[in-house]
Structure 1
């Protein structure tokens, strides 16, 4: 297998890499967008528009953000804009708990045990399943599951690159699919809600608005990756010699008795946490219920506590595992784990600063509302069916994903445009968000600009020295195309049947009832 291949697909993706590498960092993109909003707000504030603002019932007016008063207001609110940015708190609080579970070794031990106990016949689907579950721990899938899959495939006499491909498809290509809620759910929901409020300031979007679709999609992604790995990818690799340096090829290390005991107690503590939560929710007088007695109402404390619950349900087993395994000897070790988790989020905090300023300016200028209304009018004039519009969102997102790797950064840029525009067409924020997530996930595995793409190439080179970007692209392209097509069709069928996307979700706006 050659490092570069002369196919048009490889050449096209090479071109994507060249263009993408010339783009500024996402944080700088947000800063540039902020400047653009300021300039356009000043220019368009001199014009009159016939478009009616749905919030006021009057003609929309663009607010000039470059006046002395506006600049003074911006400077006086800058700190509050940043600290009040909803996605910031969501991801940081969740990561404090997940960080303890990850750095204590609990997540690694759990994933290893799941793979170790899997029969050879079901190794591929289990690898993909574990890859999907790893989404709950941010980057654990990239740094643990993908290399571990190669090790286990190799140990079982199968081609290690096939294991890496299957895991990569699950971790990155199936990024949206997961039956366990994770920090990404409330993170994207917070962006969606901010965008929706450009049109409807009172709208509430549930953090688990895509949960049911994501859960069922897990079966689809596992099935696709299982078939492609065993029937397409691995047969192509049968003549590819494993010629890596034996000293560089990692070995699978099972858990020692102390770690096994720690995993057992940590898993039990997590189970106890779930049981305790259910016990609190069952009584009709539960303080976690809404005044009406509902659990899924927006006013129910349980719906407003998704992130703290994620924090606690990962913190508890993480601490138990740390102390029982000996990884923790004092409370300082636990705090160190949280500190490491926050160090890993430092870039996100910087990006969130510029993102918060951009989104605030975009909404305050009314440019977002104008773009949504005018864009919706154009789409109405075209008369495209809603399903065609959603497919367009999926394909556009998949294309943009080739150039901008961060899921949250892309949605922060696209959400304020897509969400209010489609709301004007009667399409709910919940449906727009899931269309984005399908498109975002599908092309992750074929963009060299995805931060972990080069790392996966390195994992492959441990076994096959000649592996290059072209090699990995050719392996992952069948997954990407199949997932994109199949998942889009699946969403359309799912939608036509009317199965709920998630908790308190809707396909239409405003929601019926």
Structure 2
């Protein structure tokens, strides 16, 4: 009975979502709505007071002469400086080489053939979650690879895209590896802690205990949802005839086998070189002033280029050794083909970049965040945990940037929770749960349009509503269970990480 009700709800959400305009036009309309809101809210002098410094933030009208001038002069800059645009296009050059030369296909055939069938899906989910340590690369790379593997398993590739994307985005606050998000969150928490009078020690790994256990909590949740909901809902969806989705056992030639071996060894050699170069304290891959690898370092700032080379090396080696690349002309043709599907994504990102800029310029997101935080004042314990998670999850739909949200909320909640006796490590971890659970369904994260672009490689009729409806269970179920898990953790009083107790003084 419950299963039938949930299926009906998802079907209705999908139908409603598919009635929305094309994503590019949807973002354009959202831009118009935000512009209109900026005028209306400024007309009524809607504002918020930052509790840490009593600074008043007003909603700014973008439809006056000053706002229109800014829009006119900054539109192109918004587009070309949009972080996801450069990352996606650069990485797609390398991934396209690896895909079009046949390297991915041969590698994935080999992986699937050697891995027990029952372990393939949990392994893909785990790797998708762990991929968050690499920053913004995981939501591009893992869904694409998972879709290819799903073809080899006999599943619909779009169900693989959805499962992996949900794992990457819902699992944003879970990992076994201390990564970029840990460093960014720590930097804002450390700054916010200065507003609290007291000697509190914090470190970048202070959420690691809870994050690690959460990783193994989320894997079975996502696996069950994929097997019971996502895969069955796509099993009868057609795949475009011009898409190569053959699941037959393919026989590779001896030459292709040697090409795969050479490609893998060169890939390993390249990765070893990166690790060896990064180890020295004065490595050029580290921050020149602090010596850190994860914060404002050439390694992280140039991660897109490193990924380009990481995929291009085995792709080119395989292409040459297998005979797919015979000269510069054939290489150029493959490069052109690898970018041929990105045109619709570029159009969507143009309007998405303007939407995010309008939110920033108008201060609507900041006012929502600050006024929402007031609702949690004078709360404590379990109520405070649930409230912060729900507040952050809601704000996340309007503000996709994790660093931007925590930059606003940390100066509010770190001192507030500390006054109530909670350690900043605990506060930060509660925030990170809320920041993760609505990631799959928010259009403010630019990787959702990218997911739609990839999905249309397999079915050109697929719409945004279908993706959101099928991602929704991961947000709801994952968020519910994860929140309950945090409450149990809190009641048991277990530290969330090394040097990260629940309460101050523990």
Partner of residue 511, structure 1: none
What is the match of residue 273 of structure 2?
A: 276
Length-normalised TM-score, structure 1: 0.66
Flag the structure with higher helix content: 2
1:392 paired residue among 390, 396, 399: 390
Aligned match of 1:294: 291
Q: Give the alignment partner of residue 413 of structure 2, picking from 414, 421, 425.
A: 425
**Number of positions where the alignment pairs a residue of Structure 1 with one of Structure 2:** 427
Q: CA deviation at 1:487?
A: 5.0
1:358 match = 355
For 1:209 and 1:346, locate their aligned partners in 2 and report how far apart those are by CA, in whole Å: 42
- The alignment status of 1:320 with 2:317, answered yes or no, reads yes
* Most deviating of 483-492 and 300-309: 483-492
Summarize the Cα distance change of 1:108–1:218 in structure 2 as closer, same or farther, 3 Å threshold.
farther
Cα 1:374–1:287 shift into 2, 3 Å: same
State how far apart, in whole Å, the 1-side matches of 2:299 and 2:20 are: 41
Deviations 1:177-201 (A, max 9, x none): 599x9xxx98x99xx99xx9xx99x
Is 1:137 the counterpart of 2:137 in the alignment?
A: no
Q: TM-score, normalised by structure 2?
A: 0.66
1:271 CA displacement: 0.8
Are 2:167 and 1:174 aligned?
yes
**Distance of aligned partners of 1:212 and 1:104 in 2 relative to their CA distance in 1, 3 Å threshold:** farther
- Residues 113/96 of structure 1: CA separation in 2 closer, same or farther (3 Å cut): same
Query: Using a 3 Å threshold, how does the CA distance of structure 1 residues 173 and 86 change in structure 2: closer, same or farther?
Result: closer
Q: Which residue of 2 aligns with 1:303?
A: 300
Map 1:31-430 onto structure 2 (within 5 A): 31-48=28-45, 51-53=48-50, 57-118=54-115, 122-130=116-124, 133=127, 137=141, 139-141=143-145, 143-150=147-154, 170-176=163-169, 219-220=216-217, 223=220, 250-292=247-289, 294-296=291-293, 298-380=295-377, 385-389=383-387, 391-392=389-390, 412=400, 420=408, 424-426=412-414
Q: What is the CA–CA distance in structure 2 between the aligned matches of 1:507 and 1:352, rounded to whole Å?
A: 41
Structure 2 match to 1:18? 15
| 1:174–1:442 contact (8 Å) kept in structure 2 | no
Aligned pair in 2 of structure 1 residues 167, 304: CA closer, same or farther (>3 Å)? closer
1:356 Cα deviation after fit: 1.3
Distance in 1, Cα, partners of 2:413 & 2:247: 53
Distance 1:377 1:395, change over 3 A: closer
Aligned position for 2:239: none
**Cross-structure match for 2:131:** none
| Cα pair 1:288 1:300 within 8 Å, conserved | yes
Listed as ranges, the gaps of 5+ residues in structure 2 are 129-137, 193-204, 236-244, 415-423, 443-450, 461-465
Task: Tell me how far apart the structure 2 counterparts of residues 293 and 360 of structure 1 sit (CA, whole Å).
Answer: 31
Contiguous gaps of at least 5 residues in structure 1: 151-160, 201-207, 241-247, 401-409, 444-449, 459-468, 501-505, 509-513
